[in-house]
Every structure is written in C-alpha cells, then in structure tokens.
Structure 1
Amino acid sequence: ETLSNQSEPFNESLRLKTSVRNLVAFSVKDDALWSFTSYRLANEGSLAHSQLHAINRAKGNYVSEVHLSHSFEIMGCILELSGRADGIWRLNDKVIIHEIKTSATPLSEIHENFSEAHWAQGKCYAYLLSVTEDISEVTVRLTYYDREKNEEKSFDKTFKRDRLQRFIKTLIHPYIAWVRSQEKWKATRNISIENIIFPYPSYRKGQKLLAYNTYKCIEDGKRLFVQAPTGIGKTMGVLYPSIKALGEGKVDRLFYATAKTTTRGIAETAYNILAEQGLRLKVLTLTAKEKICLNDEKNCTPDKCPFILGYMSRSRKIVKDLLKKHDFFPREVITQAGLRHGICPFELSLDLALSCDLIICDYNYIFDPRVYLRRFFEQKERENYHIMIDEAHNLFDRARGMYSAELNVRLLLDISKEIKKDLPVINKALIKLRKELSVLEKQAGELVSEAGGVKYNTGHNAPESLKAPLGEFITAAESWVSGERDEEPYTDKLVNLFFDILHFKNILEIYSANYRTLITGKKTGFSLKLVCLDPGSMLDRRMSAAK
C-alpha cells in the first residue's frame, strides 16, 4: 500500500478530514498520559507556549504556530491531515519541528521516551513539512516545560522522510479502518431509519406539529423552544424526526440531555419502541463516574485503580467487540463489560460514545465547564450535533449553579489543620489564600442586607486580588493531586478542594456584567461566592458548538 500525494480529485474516493491531534489520540494508546495529565487552566498552557515562542524568536531562525496541511491518497481514501506545529527552526544544516508540552510531572522524572503520543505528534508535523516542502530529513525537538520553575527539558530525534512515511501509515491505517467501519455501519443504520414509521396508529394532539417543527429546525439550522402539556408525547415527537434527520445526513450525531434519571429512562423506552420495528442505532446512556465506578477507592490513577491500569492499550479491542455485539449501551451493559474485562466503565463509555449515534446524558456532560464532553465540544471539526434538551426550563437554574463558584473560610481552615504537617508547601499556599479572603472581608465592611435570616453584601466587581493566591495553591497542589500519594484521612477532602478552587479560578476568569460577588458570614464563617445571574452566553457558546 502506498501513501501518495493527492493532486487529482477522485470523486469516487471517500474524503476524510482530521487533525494531527485527533489522529494521534485515536491511534496511539499511551498509558503514560494517565500520569501526565495537567489540571491547570488551558490558558496557562498557552502562556507557557507564548513564553517559549518569544524566547526562540528572539534567538532567530524560528517561526511559531505554523499551520501544516496536506492531502494523501491511501487505502482508497483521500485524507486531509492538518494541524499547527508549535514552531519551526530553519537552520543552515537542518530543519527542526518544535513540539511543546507543559509538564505537571517533575522534569527529573521525564525521560526521552516518556510518551509515545508526544513524539507521534511531532513526527506527524515533521512528515507534513517534509512532503509539502520536499525535505528529505527533519529533526523533532520535544520540549517539556515547567512554567512554575521556568525550566525546560528537550530531546531531539532526527527522521528520514521514508521512515516518517512508514510511521504515519501505522496511524492512518487503524483510523481509516475505523472510519470505513463507521461508514458501513451508517449504511446499515440509514436503511433501517428509512424503513421505520411513527410507532403509533396516529399522532396525539399537537404531536405532529411538534415533530414537523423539530425536523424543520434541524433542516434550517435553527433552535426550537417547545412548551407543551403533559401527555402530548414530547419525547417521541422530538426523537422520531431527529432520527429521521440523522438517517438523511442532516446531522451527524444526536444528544438527548436530561435533568433527571427518570427522564433518561423515558428516552431509552422511546428508542426501544423504535428498535422493535427494526431500527439499528448505536445508543449510549452516559452514567456519572461516581455512580458507575467499580473501585473501592475513588482515585483515578493507575497505582490506585486496577481498572485504569493499562486501560489505553487494552480498550480498543474491547470497544470493537462491544460494538459488534450490541446496539444499546445502558448502564448495566457498561458495568458488566467493565467487570468482565477489568477496565474502567466510565472511560469505556466515553470511548464507546465516539461510535454512537445517540447519547443520552445529564445536562452536565454538555454544559458544565467541569465535566462537559471535551472530545465532542472542545475541538469541533466537521460534525454537526443535534442537542435535544428535555425539560429545558430546568436548565437555567442548573446552569447558574454550573457557572457559579464559592470559597468558604471554614473549609480552608479545617483542611489546613489536617495537612500542615504532611504537606507544608500546600498548606502555606492555603494560608495565603485565607489571608487574602480576610483582607476582602475587611474591605466589605458590615453586612447591610438580609434575606431569609442571612446577612450579606453584594458587589459588581470581581475579586481580582484572589487570582495570585488561587494560582499559587493550584500550582502547589497539582503535582500531589496528579501523582502517586498515600491514602490519608484528608485525601478526598483535599482533592475535592483542589477542584473547587480550580473551578473558582476558572469562573473568576470569565466574570462579567452577568455576575455578582456575594459575601456572607464573618471570620471563620466568611464565604465569598461568584454568582452567575445569567448563563445565557455560556449556554449559547456550547449550543453553537453543535448544530
């Protein structure tokens, strides 16, 4: 099989488009990444890249953020592969592709072959550069950067173009095989969708109008708001035309978001009624991690959870086998598969989701900034998603909670007492944070308003002075959270606090006129909350990432 440049268009070929990042994520199952995950804000990684870019540009012969793209004919397909290389050095004797990774792991623990996936990204960019500029040999420089200490560690490897070509084929072949299996599945699915009819002898009053408007909404790329009485059959009235639109290629994937477990069951029942007619649809019900976890200890690191150990290298075959055997993946099927194969059922459900046509889930997995499905909504490429929001009147208050955040002095004090001996660096950062909250309490003065017996003050300004101590705590605690650690009485509390503080800092970054700062209590009872009054713009952003 050859990998050739695409110059002449072939209409009969399957045309594909993907990014280097997504190709590597699919084809390179790297268990080292479990221990590498960084919890810092995404923009901190961008800042680290910017710092290194500026330093290298100042030295000369360096260009940052270089877009690379090329189309290839392979396995009877035309694949357009693209991405943005962190940087390129063009020296007299060689060309170097720069791949930068912000590290949460101490640099002393990182060796040349620490991560296969990190090298794979660099090699993909090197190959794209070699074929677009006809370069016979490219060096990849992989740089790990510790922004806190302003230290970096780099490794260089030089590759001939033919070696890079052989490597990239090892990534492309499983990806295209998966895409072809998806196309084959879609053909089967679409025939079944074409053959199903509305499952009842007649529409209920208002139900046909609902189905028509749902279909037109998808066709026209609009948003539909429905207010209808109980008993009209809203679930089937929305799901049936949505599935029909899926079969006609008007959307690529369906999401059915609910506020309650009971309404998820109603959506499952509607699917099962259509399946009795012969509908073939891959359907996944996503269950919260804490509800589906099989481990006695809720710690998602390989050294503490046997269901995560080796997950990346074992999961693909398991996912493939499950897709052959089942169309419907409710909680029971996922849990049984996890137990049978000894792997994490939550991660398994996330991987299965990539091959599913309908995903039934809680609002959180679409809208909550802490747990939303990044693989679908963060790096949107060419898919169009259709989101159905059941009981949407509940979403406003739920979203206000998702985009609000709170700091409580009593909680900080209690945890500080427990960790001061074992974790003095983290405790020092907590003390700094408490001191800044004390300053804000004094600035707020007397609490002059009252509601429900609780005195409070509100303000329009973001507590900007908290950003520095919040960042210091996150930096101090991150390696402890992501690394190996002994189980202590305070472990769960400190992990939860870490994520609460990370969330608070994230919300502080997006504080706007739609927010108020709410202050309650005094001294050890002092609490500061960033209250989201109107989450509309955040909800709009997520909806805009869909259809």
Structure 2
Amino acid sequence: MSGVYRVAVRALCDFTAREGDLDHRFTPAPSAREGIEGHTLVASRRGADYLAEMPLSGVFESLTVTGRADGFDPTRNRLEEVKTHRGSLERMADNQRALHWAQVKVYGALLCAECHLEQVTLTLVYLDITSGKETLLSQDASAAELQAFFATQCQRFLAWAEQEANHRQRRDSSLQTLRFPHATFRPGQRELAEDVYKATSTGRCLLAQAPTGIGKTIATLFPMLSAMPRQQLDRIAFLTMKTPGRRLALDALATLRAGRDDERKPLRVLELVAREKACEYPDRACHGESCPLAAGFYDRLPAARQAAVEQAWLDRDALREVALAHDVCPYYLGQELARWADVIVGDVNHWFDSHALLHGLAQANDWRTGVLVDEAHNLVERARGMYSAELDQQRFSRLRRAAPKVLSRPLGRLARQWQAVMKEAALEEEGEPGKPAYRLLAMLPDKLVTAAQQLGAAITDHLGEHPEDASLELQEVLFEALAFCRLAEHFGEHSLCDLTRFGRGRAVLGLRNLIPADFLAPRFKAAHASVLFSATLTPAHYYRDLLGLPANTVWREVASPFTAPQLEVHIRRDISTRFRDRTASIEPIVEVLAQQYQGRPGHYLAFFSSFAYLEAVLARFRQAHPAVPAFSQTRGMPEAERDAFLTRFEPGGKGIGFAVLGGAFAEGVDLPGDRLIGAFIATLGLPPFNDFNEALKTRLTARFGQGDDYTYRIPGMIKVVQAAGRVIRGLEDEGVVVLMDDRFAQASVRALLPSWWSLENPNP
C-alpha cells in the first residue's frame, strides 16, 4: 500500500536507531523545566547569528520527516543537538548516545538538503545542568553520507509504516462487519451495548450502572470495537481494578476475535502486566551487565516486535513466549507494543496515574482513544491513592546513619525540620503504646518540604557523580522525596496534610488527595470517549463530582434481568451495629444467622465492619452452634488461604463464611447457583468517624454541599450493595440478603439500594 506518512525526527530515530543494551540503572535526569532552561542557556551563549529551534523537514518517497534542530551556527557551519544531563557522561547508556547521534545526523541530512550544503559539522552538546559545563562531541559529515543515513532510517520506518497502514485498513474493514458473537443478547446487554455505541459515536463520557451477571464486559467491548472504524479510533484501553477483571476482558476479546463466521479478526490485543510479575530475573538489575534479557535488547527488538505484531494475541503468556524466543525482556517488550496494539488491557493506573503509560503515548502520538473502565465504583479511592504521597521519618533517619558524608548536611536539615513539625503539632511525646497519635495540619509544612527538595537534589547530584553509591535504600528515599515534592507543588483544596506518630523516632507526613477530580478531569478530556461501568454507580452526581467527569456525561441504568422473587431482602430493625451497641448486638446477630441457616441450610457469607467485630460474633456463634460449619477471613490473609476460603463454597455444600465488608470476598467473587445462597450484612459499611474523615466531610461540603453523603453514607452503601451482589449471579439463582441494622430502614439509605430489590418485609 502506498500513501503519505508523517513522522517526527525523534520518533523516527527512536524506532530505527536505538542499539545495544537495555539499561535501566538509575540515572539522575533533569526535569522537563530544567531541560528547557538548559536549551535556552546554551542558545544564549552562542553568537548573534545563531539559529535556535530551526524548523526542518524533508521527504523520502512517501514519508515526510519533520522536526526542529536545537541550533545551527552558520558561521562555523555547525549543527547542534543539545542534551541536558546530571553528573558523569560516562554513565549515559550506549543506546541513548546512539539515539542522540542518529537525531543529529537526520537533522544534518535535512539541513544539507534544504540549504544546499555539501558538508556540515555535527555536534552533540551535553550540558550538565548542575555545573553549567558543556561537553561537545563533534564529527564532520558530507551531505552524501548523511543522505544515505537518512535514506536507511526512512526505509526501515517506511516499511513498518506501510505494514501498519495495511493492518489498520484490514482491522477497520473487519470491524465494520463485526457481529455480536452470541446468537442472542442476554437481558440488558443490548441496552448497554447501544448506550456504549452512542457514547463512542458522539465522543462523550458514559456512566453505566448495570447488574452483575448480564455480561457487561462483552457488552461494552463489542459496541466500542464496532464504532472504532467509524470514529477513527486508534486505540481502545480496557482498564480494570484487579487481575480477574483483565482475565474477563481477555476472554471476551478472544470470543470477539474468533467471530461467528470462524474468520479471525485482524485485531491486536495486548495485556499489560506489572513489572514485578513480568520480570524473568527479579534478583538481577535491569541492565545488560546483569540481565541476559537486557543485553542486546535493542539489537533484537525489531525482530521481536515484528514477531509480536504477527502473533497479534499478546496476553501475558503469549507475550512472554515471543519475548523469550527472541531473548528480550517481556515487560519492556510489552511497553514497546503498547504503541502498536489495537486494544490494551491493563490496570487503571495506565491511563489515570500521574505517569500513566497509555495517556502519555496518546498525548505524544495524538491518538483518538476509547477508554473502558470496569468496576468503576472503585476509581474514586484508587485515584485518591494515585495522587497521595508520604514521607517516612524512620526511613530518612535510617539512611542518615549510613549515607555518604556529602549527604549528612541535607539529611540533618531534614531531621531538624521533622522535629520542628512534631513540636508544633504537639506530637513529640504523645501517643499510647501501640496506638499512633494523629494530627491534621492546617497547612503544608513548607520548610520541611523545602528540606526534602534540597535532599532530593543533593542525592540526585551525588548519584550523578558516584553511580556506585546507588543503593536500593538511597534510591527509594530519593523517589519518595521526589514524589512527595511533586505533589506538594499542586497542593490545594483537593488535598490535605496530616502527621501520624507511631512511637519515638517514627512519624509519617501524609499528603492525602481528597478530590481526585482536579487530576482526573484532563484525563477524561484527553479520551475521545470514556465508558465507566459497574453494578454500583448510584448516585451519578457522586461520581461526576469526585471524578471530574465532563459536564455532558450521560448516566444510564440498565434494567436488571433479575426479579424481586429471586432475592429475599430482610431488614432487621431490632439490631443496631453502631460502635456503642456492638456488644449488645452479638447475641441477636448469632440468633439471626442460626435461624436462617436452620431454615434453609446451605452456604452463606456474613459481612462485618471490622475483624474485631467479626471475631467476637464468630466466637459466640461457634460456642452456641458448634454443629454449623463456620470459617473465617483472617487479617493479612495470603492468596493461597483466600483461594482455600473460596474453594469451600462447593455446589451442594453448607456453612457460613465470616468476612469483612470491603475486603477480598465482598466484591469480584463469583459463586453462582447454590455455591452461595445468602448473605448477612451486619454493618452499613460507613467509614470510621475520625479526624481525617471529618476533615474530608468539611472539604466535600465546602466544594459540593454533600459532605456527609460523600464521606460516609454513599461509600458505605456501595460496599453493602457490592457484598449483597455476591448472592444472585445468574437468571436461575435464588437467595436471601439480611441487612442487620435499623438504619437500613431509613428512606435516605433505602434510596441507595438496587431498585429491583423488594423491601416489603422489614422484619423477617
């Protein structure tokens, strides 16, 4: 296929000219702002006729290459490419140096062609931003040899560009005739699919509340894929909160790729996996001298990349197989293929985190992206975590005892600021044994933040000169300080600062995000269309406000295929689970559990607000009813024990599993049929009443006027509905949910329960 393709010089060289090892040893790098200032400084040192930011372009066959050369000195006939750095240049990875030379050579070819030069001096200008010292590396080159180099790079890229254009054409042609993979839609699926298609076609954001069991995953992927060619989407990102969600998405995509006509769709699917799970050699450093899959990575990348796109289906196992067949790192091969896949399945942080891979690629390449967010009710808390940070006093104190001498002064300065903050917060001697002391701070402690910034700069400068000192602990302290200071620059009404003392010499300064909307709004704006879906997205204004959704966001509730007779819902108004009533509630709760079990033996889950409450009820239940099988979630339960807990829910089995609301068994657990026939919920799931949540309530009241609901009631009821949703998983399921607290009968609480539930009998 022939056509006209455009590529920037940096992107061209990044694709064609890297060579040698993958090298991810820590290298202190200038910030973007420092880089801009460095380029300006170099230009200011040149003569009056120096041409900075010189636009250049050229054409090779059907490829147009464009860019801006950093500077050209016509008097010396010298073309410069400026790169800022910290510390020793010898530390710079060879693949970076190869990329830099390739860039200046391409610019040289464009310059010679445009200005009719027969030769030019190419110079790499390395500016140490700490000292201001310039290191110049130069070579003379003829126009002929530069044109030959340019042609080679263009040929490599053009072959790939034409291949990608062919793939895009075949993909879009195939998706225009995409059919739903099943003979019929499940109840509610067609309605959800139509809403997703409309949102994608109009470039809007959709909040879709749809019950569990209707097949939401395939009902969202199918319409967005169908709209992909018509809306000229470049990529679809299917984002999940947990690993099981990725598996469901991949299963749905496998079904859609297979199609109903046995003709596999030319659709590239990539699963992004966390680095620690993808690493083949977790005990080795990520560079060619340590890891065999990093050695020669860029030399083998082109063949591995080609094999991967031909494979097309790249879940974790398939990607690993391709990577190991070419002796390259699976994780970094996946990062590369994120540029070339059609559908990327991964965690929500890949779009919404401050350093999100997919968002960064979309911005750099001007992608039109469709974003699907599964279990979206979790996004509020996940995003708060993404934009929060901590400084741990103990970590800095430990480093102070073993750090290089040059860091003793900035570490001492930070230690003094810690003591000043502790004294001002009156936390120096406060705190019961085993119980942390807590204070909300009225404002960010600027002097401590400044000390952390100065320490970060000192560590960065030291490691630039002494890379051999880059211990894991030193790097962790640096990253912690940098992350905190970056967020401190954006501190405002969306966040607060707190201090927690865990004992002498151990305090944690927290910068807590309260309203992720201010950080997430640009991410939603960057997507062509976003669809957030879950079984619990009520009320819509809660998510609109806290996530910063666009003003034209549409909310839809898909009618439940389940009917009230399938689920008995009882409210026990005679029980209070308030903290002051916990002891008195144990006996009646035990009685409710026993009565329901004896009336209909089978498998149940009983949810409580805390492990302490759970353990108290469990102990009394076992004492009163030793014949009833009872088993329990435990604190810090390992994955193997969690699996064993769920394995007990066999078809036809009996027993009561005790669990914590909001924990591992309260959502994302699928126990259809008689594997689970009922749930007891002995809590409203309200977050604890404490200083932090009261401050959150005040802040949300000021911003949205709904502090109490947004802080306590709505988050609590989301957990309740999710836990209750474990009972009815399919159209044939039947079961019971017992809500044990008088507050469940309040109109404001009942309004947050699913509309298809019947609450006619408040007391069973």
Fold shared, TM-score > 0.5 on shorter chain: yes
Choose the corresponding residue for 1:529, options 510, 514, 531: 510
Q: Is the 8 A contact 1:365 1:371 kept in 2?
A: yes
The match for 1:458 is 441
Task: Work out which of the residue numbers 483, 487, 500 in structure 2 matches 1:507.
Answer: 487
Q: Give the structure 2 partner of residue 333 of structure 1.
A: 318
2:397 paired residue among 410, 413, 419: 413
Provide the C-alpha distance between the structure 1 equivalents of 2:38 and 2:423, rounded to a whole number of angstroms.
35
Q: Distance in 2 between matches of 1:327 and 1:237?
A: 22
Task: Rate the CA distance shift 1:486–1:51 in 2: closer, same or farther, 3 A.
Answer: closer
Equivalent-residue separation in structure 1 for 2:95 and 2:512 (angstroms)? 45
Whether contact under 8 Å (1:460, 1:513) holds in the other structure is no
| Number of residue pairs matched by the alignment | 519
SS at match of 2:228: helix
CA-CA distance at 1:25 after TM superposition: 0.5
Contact 2:8–2:65 under 8 Å retained in 1: yes
State which of 308, 332, 335 in structure 2 corresponds to 1:350.
Answer: 335
C-alpha separation between the residues in 1 aligned to 2:466 and 2:171? 44
Give the superposition deviation at 1:474.
4.2
Aligned partner of 2:254 in structure 1 is: 272
Specify which of 513, 519, 531 is matched with residue 499 of structure 2. 519
Give the Cα separation in 1 of the matches to 2:496 and 2:469.
Answer: 40
**Does the 8 Å CA contact 1:426/1:473 hold for their aligned counterparts?**
no
Is the deviation greater in 496-505 or in 15-24? 496-505
Q: CA deviation at 1:36?
A: 8.5
Alignment of 1:403-482 (within 5 A): 403-417=387-401, 419-420=402-403, 423-445=404-426, 454-461=437-444, 463=446, 466-467=449-450, 469-477=452-460, 480=463
Match runs of 1:133-172 below 5 Å: 133-172=115-154
Partner of 2:160: 178
SS at match of 2:290: coil
Preserved contact between residue 105 and residue 146 of structure 2 (Cα < 8 Å): yes
Change (3 A) 1:81 1:483: farther
Taking a change above 3 Å as real, the CA distance of residues 483 and 206 of structure 1, as seen in their structure-2 partners, is: farther
Partner Cα distance (2:465, 2:331) in 1: 19
Whole-angstrom CA distance in 2 between matches of 1:366 and 1:41: 21
Helix, strand or coil: the match of 2:205?
A: coil
Amino acid at match of 1:16: Y
Change over 3 Å in CA distance of 1:468–1:414 after alignment to 2: closer
3-state SS in 2 of match to 1:148: coil
Question: Would you say the 8 A contact 1:61–1:90 is kept in 2?
Answer: yes
Deviation of 1:22 (Å): 0.8
Q: CA deviation at 1:113?
A: 11
Partner of 1:367: 352
Q: Output the CA distance in 1 between the equivalents of 2:140 and 2:94.
A: 13
Deviation at 1:146, TM superposition (A): 1.5
Please list the CA deviations of residues 416-443 of structure 1 after superposition, one character each: whole Å capped at 9, or x if unmatched.
32x33xx333454433333333334344
Identify the match of residue 35 of structure 2 among 30, 45, 65.
Answer: 45
C-alpha RMSD of matched pairs (Å):
3.1
Question: In structure 1, what is the Cα distance between the partners aligned to 2:473 and 2:166?
Answer: 48
Give TM-score, length-normalised by structure 2.
0.63
Q: What corresponds to 1:322 in structure 2?
A: 308
1:109 is displaced (CA, Å) by: 6.2
| Map 1:481-500 → 2, pairs under 5 A | 485=468, 491-500=471-480
Question: 1:207 and 1:460, CA in 2 relative to 1: closer, same or farther beyond 3 A?
Answer: farther
**Aligned mates of 1:479, 1:345 — CA distance in 2:** 32
Alignment correspondent of 1:5? none
CA drift of 1:159 comes to 2.8
> How far did 1:359 drift?
0.5
CA drift of 1:469 comes to 4.2
Give the secondary structure class of the aligned counterpart of 2:208.
coil
Q: Offset at 1:319?
A: 1.8
Query: Structure 1 residue 38: deviation in Å?
Result: 4.1
Letter in 2 for 1:44: E
Distance 1:33 1:15, change over 3 A: same
Q: Which of 295, 298, 313 pairs up with 2:299? A: 313
Does the CA-based 8 Å contact 1:462-1:508 persist in structure 2? no
Partners of 1:500 and 1:111 in 2: CA distance: 24
Q: Cα offset for 1:495?
A: 2.7
The residue matched to 1:520 in structure 2 has which SS?
Answer: strand
Distance in 2 between residues matched to 1:373 and 1:483, nearest whole Å: 34
Structure 2 unaligned regions, length at least 5: 529-764
d(CA) in 2 for partners of 1:378, 1:139: 34
2:523 aligned residue = 542
Letter in 1 for 2:495: Y
Contact kept? 1:38, 1:482, Cα under 8 Å: no
Q: Which residue of 2 aligns with 1:376?
A: 361
Gaps of 5+ in 1: 1-11
Q: Distance in 2 between matches of 1:532 and 1:329?
A: 35
Of the three residues 192, 201, 209, the one matched with 1:210 is: 192
* Residues 1:72 and 2:53 are matched in the alignment: no
Cα separation, 2, equivalents of 1:479 and 1:321: 42
Gap change, CA 1:32 and 1:484, over 3 Å in 2: farther
> Contact (CA 8 Å) 2:352, 2:359: kept in 1 or not?
no
Mapped pair 1:117 → 2:99: yes
**Counterparts of 1:110 and 1:538, CA distance in 2:** 33
Distance 1:535 1:64 in 2: 40
Alpha-carbon spacing, 1:500–1:461, altered in 2? closer, same or farther (3 Å): closer
User: CA offsets per residue over residues 277-335 of structure 1, 9 Å max, x none?
Assistant: 222311011110001111141522222222211111111112212332x2211111222
| In 1: Cα distance, 2:329 partner to 2:21 partner | 16
Q: Say if 1:139 and 1:159, in contact at 8 Å, map to a contact too.
A: yes
Report which stretch shifted further, 241-250 or 288-297: 241-250
1:60 aligns with 2:48: yes
Q: Shift of residue 265 of structure 1?
A: 0.6
The one-letter code of the counterpart of 1:189 is R
Q: Give the secondary structure class of the aligned counterpart of 2:439.
A: strand
Name the amino acid aligned to 2:275: K
Contact 1:400/1:533 (8 A) holds in 2: yes
Contact residue 32 and residue 115 of structure 1 kept, 8 A: no
Q: Distance in 2 between matches of 1:494 and 1:111?
A: 21
The farther-off stretch of 108-117 and 94-103 is 108-117
What's 2:283 paired with? 297
Q: Contact 2:410–2:458 (CA<8 Å) still a contact in 1? A: no
Q: Supply the AA of the counterpart residue of 1:311.
A: F
CA distance in 1, matches of 2:226, 2:94: 51
Once residues 541 and 280 of structure 1 are traced to their aligned partners in structure 2, the CA distance between those partners, rounded to angstroms, is 32
Offset, 1:484: 5.9
Q: Separation in 2 of the partners of 1:84 and 1:109?
A: 27
Residue of structure 1 in register with 2:726 after alignment: none
Structure-2 separation of matches of 1:439 and 1:244:
60
Q: Which amino acid aligns with 2:186?
A: R
TM-score of the two chains, using structure 1 as the length reference:
0.86
Q: Secondary structure of the residue that 1:14 maps to in structure 2? A: coil
8 Å CA contact retained: 1:338, 1:348: yes
Q: Is the 8 A contact 2:104 2:124 kept in 1?
A: yes
Tell me which residue corresponds to 1:281: 267
The percent of aligned pairs where both chains have the same amino acid is 28
- Residue deviations 1:98-127, cap 9 Å, x none? 211122450466799981211111222233
SS in structure 2 of the partner of residue 196 of structure 1: coil
Q: Secondary structure at the match of 1:97?
A: strand
Contact 2:2 2:162 in 1 (8 A): no
AA in 1 matched with 2:17: V
Matches within 5 A, 1:85-96: 85-91=69-75, 94-96=76-78
Shift of 1:83: 2.1
